[in-house]
Each structure stands twice: as structure tokens, then as C-alpha cells.
Structure 1
């Protein structure tokens, strides 16, 4: 789906720009050259995360339950597989960040530089529990990785619960067309209920922002868009999309949140693109292939850009007296170097099959690196 890759590429570039505009002395020096751009990136750039959440929900529905019912034979194995695919590039990037932070700490007197990690902090990050256990993040944006994993596990549990209950009651072998219809729609109904609860209640409670319940409204919109796109009749699709729009509008009427508005617009645009078959590769122009490639390695870019930002801030800050243009060039160079580093991380780690041997090796590398720089 090249269009989704392109959307992820644009969203990731905005998120990287958000961090470039906020962290270190370079954005402070370059601010005067483009104050409106820096202000927008700093204040609103984080909203691009909502695009990732909607697309993640869309792809989760396509993978786990394309017809509404769970199509996974071994749910626990699937969750562990998801963990492996998420954490291999994540652990590699965290190791780089721990080492870079140790190098630049004497040269960059900024709060943005993470402190020397503790053993418990390293283990918590490796298990994606750092926010739930109250540890300071080793890198910016790593909260998203933990939330993505929670959301995937929660989505799998929701779509699998009706099948599990049916089997436990001994009803797996029959029931006729009515039972099959209920089995198909029960998971969709559960996703709708939890998505509405998230949009109306959980997402308004900042104390829940370390859990999947806070973000499931956005993720659920993506899942529901995918299922709506499976409708063969235009009237059915139109009704489903209208219902999604009403749910989103109702949530915004209760409490206006820019993040939910962004998610709703993304979901509706995705619904239209799916219906018009714009997601097909045949509708993708060759001139936009570089953007598609950026989207494919957007996860690696999201993970690795922060240590590059730390290193460049330290280098520019200690280069002697300079003007705003030097800081601006430094920010552009940071983005370019981040893309190059992401290409290496994608090729060497993310694009390779996940394995427990790889997970354990990278986990050990993170622990050893953290313990070395802490002593």
C-alpha cells in the first residue's frame, strides 16, 4: 500500500521536525530565521503521531481479523512475534542513544540529554514497561513503541474474545447462519464500544496516557475504517463511515482535542482512499517513490534520529561562535544524517526476520552498554 507508506513518511518527517524544533541549542539559535515554522513544529508537530495510530489500527484489522473474526491460530505466539519485530530495531537504537548520550554529556549541558541509566531502567525499557513503572525515558518518543505493543495485544484480545467464549461454551461446531453472523459482528461491536469509551472517557484522563486505553479511540478508528471498506454495497459503506464521523464529532463535542480531530480526519481520508482503491500500487506515481521508501523505514527513522540530534547539537554548540544560519544548517544536516542512519538501521535490523536470538543479543548489548557508561 504505497499511499500508506507515503503517509507514514510525511508523518515521521513532521515528528522528527517537531523534535528538531524543541531539543538542544540549535533550534533556539535558528528560531529567528523562521519563527512561524519553528512555532508550528514545536506546538503542533506531535499531532502527526495520530496518523501512525490510525494506520496501525487499520493494518492490525487487516492482519488479525480481515472479516471481523480472528484469523490467528496462536494468539500468544502472534503477540510475542509482534514484540520481537518492535523491539529489535528499538533495542539497537536505544543502545546507540545510551552511548551517544554518554559521549555528549560533558559537552552539552542540556536537560534533553538523558542521565546515566540504571539497571532497572534498562530492563524496563527492554520489556516496554518504562512508563508504567515510572522510569525516565532513555530516548524521546519511545513511549510510542510501548503503546503500539499494548494496542496490538488489546486489539487481538478484543477480536479473539468472542471466539474464545464460543469455544468455551461448546458452540464452535454449529449454530447456523445466525451464529456465524453474530460471531462476525461481535468483535466489531467490542471494538466500537471500547473505541467510544476511549474517545469519550479514557482519552480525557491524562493519568491513563501510559496505557492503551487512552489511545484506543484513535487506533479503533483505523480498525473500523478497514472493516467499513470491506462492504460491497456503497450504502453500507456510506452508513459505516457516517457512523464513524458521528462518533468522532460527538467525542469532539464533549471535549475538543486537536489530536482526536487529526485522527478523525485521517480516518475519513483513509476510508475514501480505500473505497476509491487509491491504496493500490497502480495508483501510485513513480515520482513519489522516494517518499514511499521514507515511509517504509519511518519506524527506524523515528527510533534513531534522537541520538543523531544529540550528537549534532553537541558538535555545533562547541564549534565556537556562530550565527543563526549555522544552527539552521546544522538542523538540516541532522535530518539528512538521521535518514542515513535510519537506512542503515532498517537494512541491518528492521528488515531482517525477527528472532529470539536477535532479541536476546540486542537486549544484552543494551544492558552492557548501559552498565559500562554508568561506571
Structure 2
């Protein structure tokens, strides 16, 4: 999801969501998480309980960026060959860093099994399980996930494929927007609240559609489509608010709020700073611009370092001290290692893999 011209809000959301997801997994898996929670119960309990909400940021933003790339086909004649090419190229775009991260995670899990007796490490991976991951079928086939982030990559490809089929096939976006909005409300109010649909795009289509509507409302060339998309964002917001009177569903509220942010500031560029020294604002913006394209790789690779950190914690006997400060220190090391590894995964695998196109 690289931008030809970097956009500040998009980059901020990508970096923030990836960072929160990493912290959520750190607060969820292994002996390190247990000892850190005893040391900082408030923060760790919050990350464990609500950190996964950051996935909604990814979903809404993914819908926004997918629509940005797919609307270029709006006025072109339908071609099944072109549609298939778009879907395959999206698969290839996700594939290379994903597979590299999976192989590294399998290696780290093999090391961890020698010392860590914990359910999150999982059983020895099978060839069938690995092949299912290669085709993003592990959830549909009911197989254990090799890595904590693998399920999201599969869902992202499902959602993009569905949106590509609809945006390239429909000649009337008006009809399509109404259809997707109705299905989105069903997703937000029903499918998203049932674990049995978590391996299928329908569970997350509501948040994805909000991102699509935000892009169309802000950037689409046809004014009628822009007005309709804005109207439907408001209507879906009202539906979410009314449904929250019975049961507040924080994920839906967050998804709508992110869509609203994208509608207002989704095309905001980085501010032009005066030439001079490296003040705090300049350092922060440069850090965000650097981290944003690497956020996907950090999301993919961090679980392997959680496995390694828990292995070190137990193999070296550090867990015997039940020290929260040591656990927090190892968490910080996981974050640092994830950032460094993401940089190399991005430079050595993701960038070269952009040449893999049909």
C-alpha cells in the first residue's frame, strides 16, 4: 500500500495501528505477558482487552486505499482478464514478505518448543498447514494459524478481491454503493459479532465499506456519488449509534470514527517545514514517513520475536524471578527487534517483490 505522494493521516494511522497490535500481542502471549500484567495491571489489561480494536483502523484504511486504486477502472470496459490480473497482483503484493515472515516464525516456534510449554507456541507445523497458509485458506479450513497476524492477511485479500469484482464489474456505482452499504450494516450488526464468521470477508466488510465510502465521498469525480457516499456514512453512523443504545460495540464506533477522519483529512499531505535544525516536529514526521511503508512487515514479523523473547525468558531462568521489569524490558526488545527486522524485510523482500506482477 505505498503512496506515490505520502499522506500524513494515512501514514499516522498505519504506524499507530501496527504499534498497538504489536503491544496487544505482547500483552496476550506467554509468561512475559503474565508477569508484565502483574507489574502494570492497568496498562496490560487495557492492551489485552482493547488492543485488538486497532484492526478496525487497518480495515477502514484498507477499504479507503483499495478504492483509491480500483476506481481507475470505473470508466473502462469490463474485462474478466483484467479483473483476474488485478486480484492476482494483489495476492502477489501480499505474498513475498508474508511467506518470508511465516518461514522465520516457523523457525522461531521450533526453537521455542524446546523450552516453552505454552498453547500459543502451537504444535509442530505440517506441510498441509503451511500450504494452506500460502493460499490464505488456513482459517476457512479450520487450521491453526502459524502466526498471530496471518489471519488478517487472508481477510485483506478476500476483501480486496470482493471489492475489485464489484468496482470493476458494476457500471453504476450508485447501485453498488447502496448494495454494499446494506450488506455493511448487516456485517456491523450481526456477522462481526459472531466468531463463526471470523475467517470470512463478510465479518469485516462493514469496516472495509466505511473506508470505501470515505474515499468516494471525498475524492470521486462524480458529485452525485460523493453526496450519496457522505449521506450513507451519516446513515451508518446513526445506525451504529442507535444499536449502541442496546449494546455498545466499540469496534463499530471506532471504525466509523476512522472513516470520518479519512473523510475530513484523508488527503492531507505532510506539512512543509522551514529549513533548519532537527526539531522535535521534524524528527517525528520523518519517523512516521520512514515507519509507514515498513508497518506491514512489522505486523508480519513481530510474533516471531514474541516467541523468541519468551524462549529467552524461560530458558535463561528469568521467569523464576517473576520480575515485571525484566518482562517489560523484553517487550521493549521485541518492539525494537521487530522494527529492525521490518526494515530489512521491507528492503530485501517487499520492495523487490513489487516487480512480481502479471
Q: TM-score, normalised by structure 2?
A: 0.86
1:148 counterpart = 2:137: no
The correspondence for 1:217, drawn from 206, 212, 221, is 206
Mark the CA change 1:283 to 1:237 in structure 2 (over 3 Å): closer, same or farther: farther
Deviation track 1:86-139 (CA, whole Å, cap 9, x = no partner) reads 111111100001111111201111111121111211111111000001111111
Cα RMSD over matched residues? 2.6
User: Offset of 1:283 from its aligned partner?
Assistant: 6.2
Deviates more, 1:11-20 or 1:194-203: 194-203
Q: Which residue of structure 2 lines up, in the alignment, with residue 9 of structure 1? A: 15
Deviation track 1:204-244 (CA, whole Å, cap 9, x = no partner) reads 33322211111111000000100000268999967743531
Q: Aligned partners of 1:342, 1:76: CA distance in 2, in Å? A: 30
Contact 1:203 1:214 in 2 (8 A): yes
Deviation track 1:56-81 (CA, whole Å, cap 9, x = no partner) reads 00011110015855688611011001
User: Offset of 1:33 from its aligned partner?
Assistant: 2.9
Q: Which stretches in structure 1 are left out of the alignment for 5+ residues?
A: 164-182, 358-375
The correspondence for 1:59, drawn from 62, 65, 68, is 65
User: Offset of 1:186 from its aligned partner?
Assistant: 3.2
Count matched residues. Answer: 336
Contact 1:68 1:188 in 2 (8 A): no
Q: Which residue of structure 2 lines up, in the alignment, with residue 339 of structure 1? A: 339
Q: Aligned partners of 1:231, 1:343: CA distance in 2, in Å? A: 34
Contact 1:68 1:185 in 2 (8 A): no
Q: Aligned partners of 2:151, 2:166: CA distance in 1, in Å? A: 23
Mark the CA change 1:238 to 1:96 in structure 2 (over 3 Å): closer, same or farther: same
Q: Which residue of structure 2 lines up, in the alignment, with residue 106 of structure 1? A: 114
The correspondence for 1:267, drawn from 251, 254, 259, is 259
Q: Aligned partners of 1:252, 1:143: CA distance in 2, in Å? A: 29
Contact 1:221 1:264 in 2 (8 A): yes
The alignment partner of 2:145 has SS state of coil
Mark the CA change 1:31 to 1:200 in structure 2 (over 3 Å): closer, same or farther: closer
Q: Aligned partners of 2:159, 2:68: CA distance in 1, in Å? A: 15
Mark the CA change 1:69 to 1:50 in structure 2 (over 3 Å): closer, same or farther: farther
User: Offset of 1:344 from its aligned partner?
Assistant: 1.1
Deviates more, 1:89-98 or 1:249-258: 249-258
The correspondence for 1:33, drawn from 39, 42, 46, is 39
The alignment partner of 1:256 has SS state of coil
Q: Aligned partners of 1:95, 1:193: CA distance in 2, in Å? A: 40
1:188 counterpart = 2:177: yes
Q: Aligned partners of 2:49, 2:182: CA distance in 1, in Å? A: 31
**Larger CA Rg, structure 1 vs 2:** 1
Deviation track 1:317-362 (CA, whole Å, cap 9, x = no partner) reads 22224322111111111111111111111111112234669xxxxx
Q: Which residue of structure 2 lines up, in the alignment, with residue 162 of structure 1? A: 170
The correspondence for 1:305, drawn from 289, 302, 320, is 302
